[in-house]
Amino acid sequence: MDPTTDNAGHTGDPGTARASLEALRAEIAKAVVGQDPAVTGLVVALLCRGHVLLEGVPGVAKTLLVRALASALELDTKRVQFTPDLMPSDVTGSLVYDARTAEFSFQPGPVFTNLLLADEINRTPPKTQSSLLEAMEERQVTVDGTPRPLPEPFLVAATQNPVEYEGTYPLPEAQLDRFLLKLTIPLPSRQDEIDVLTRHAAGFDPRDLHAAGVRPAATAADLEAARAAVAKTTVSPEITAYVVDICRATRESPSLTLGVSPRGATALLATARAWAWLTGRDYVIPDDVKALALPTLRHRVQLRPEAEMEGVTADSVINALLAHVPVPR
């Protein structure tokens, strides 16, 4: 890829792109305290052209995290609150009759953005959930038989509440598999929570990120250069076999009724490559695979009911398999 220069003066050089994406953390930290793993996961998803499922209790800054990322990348962002009465056209857009021209014109929905925050996606019926599927997979929306491409880059960050399941519509396995990563947003540590309250006492307004000092750290040119560099990151046959062995081990686990599909194996290889490049290498090592195994695979497996009753979790099963599967030298 030939280096190009954008309006902000970024050249699109891979080395500059890596430094810019690393600087994202510092910018987002001005608004969001203590969520570095989630920030890294969102950057990895952008590099892999994937989508993210964010799971955490209300009030842990999931919305603020996505808005801060969009601001630091100079990307457009929109938020949709998924509710039981939300219609597919409320997400994708619809044809609207114009009395002046006596014709129907397309009114784009909120999905026409760079970063779409789908808030509480499990609160809306399957018909509306599935309206996101074409957008996520094909990066286009078809209305009245006409396909309409979505902006580039395009990322869906969907949130769900892990503790309140009354009146919800759990995402089916096939739809969960469309998300590249599932990131858990934990409650902050005591010190992080003190820092949050101190900022608010000093006048921090989460609705005004510019006043909080969040500035653009990377651009679309940086992202394109980074994606091109990730695509050139070397994967040895041993690493490929290691990824396959991990995914095959999930299919043979006595604690699981559903293991990782070949799509999941492809996703793990892609996220490991992106992480390797972000950490400064042009080749993948086993530790890269291990680092991304949990967020890439945890939503692609299904526990047996008896294992769930015994307190087994998807994370504990995957960690046990990582300890068991032979690591290439």
Which pair of tokens denotes residue 33?
Answer: 């305290």
Mean local confidence (pLDDT), 180-185: 93
> What pLDDT, on a 0 to 100 scale, did the predictor assign at position 111?
92
Average the pLDDT over each of 202-206, 247-251, 280-284 and give the range with the smallest value. 202-206
Judged against a pLDDT cut of 70, whether residue 294 lies above it is answered with yes
Judged against a pLDDT cut of 70, whether residue 8 lies above it is answered with no
CA distances from 231 to 106, 127, 129, 149, 293 (A): 36, 35, 31, 23, 19
pTM comes to: 0.86
> What pLDDT, on a 0 to 100 scale, did the predictor assign at position 178?
87
**CB of 162 closer than 8 Å to CB of 170:** no
β-sheet bridge partners, residue 303: 256
Residue by residue, what is the 3-state secondary structure of the chain? CCCCCCCCCCCCCHHHHHHHHHHHHHHHHCCCCCCHHHHHHHHHHHHCCCCEEEECCCCCCHHHHHHHHHHHHCCCEEEEECCCCCCHHHHHEEEEEECCCCEEEEEECCCCCCEEEEECHHHCCHHHHHHHHHHHHHCEEEECCEEEECCCCCEEEEEECCCCCCCCCCCCHHHHCCCCEEEECCCCCHHHHHHHHHHHHCCCCCCCCCCCCCCCCCCHHHHHHHHHHHHCCECCHHHHHHHHHHHHHHHCCCCEEECCCHHHHHHHHHHHHHHHHHCCCCECCHHHHHHHHHHHHCCCCEECHHHHHCCCCHHHHHHHHHHHCCCCC
Residue-wise pLDDT tens digits, 108-121 = 889 999 999 998 88
Mean local confidence (pLDDT), 288-292: 96
Instruction: Return the amino acid letter for 311.
Output: G
Q: Which residue has the higher pLDDT, 94 or 298?
A: 298
Judged against a pLDDT cut of 50, whether residue 7 lies above it is answered with no
All residues at 6 or more sequence positions from 319 whose CB lies less than 8 Å from its CB, including other chains: 294
Going by pLDDT thresholds of 50, 70 and 90, the confidence category of residue 6 is: very low
Residue-wise pLDDT tens digits, 210-261 = 877 788 888 888 888 999 999 999 999 999 999 999 999 999 999 999 999 9
Rounded to whole angstroms, the Cα distance separating 161 from 54 reads 9
Q: Tell me how far the alpha carbon of residue 81 is from its chain's centroid.
A: 17
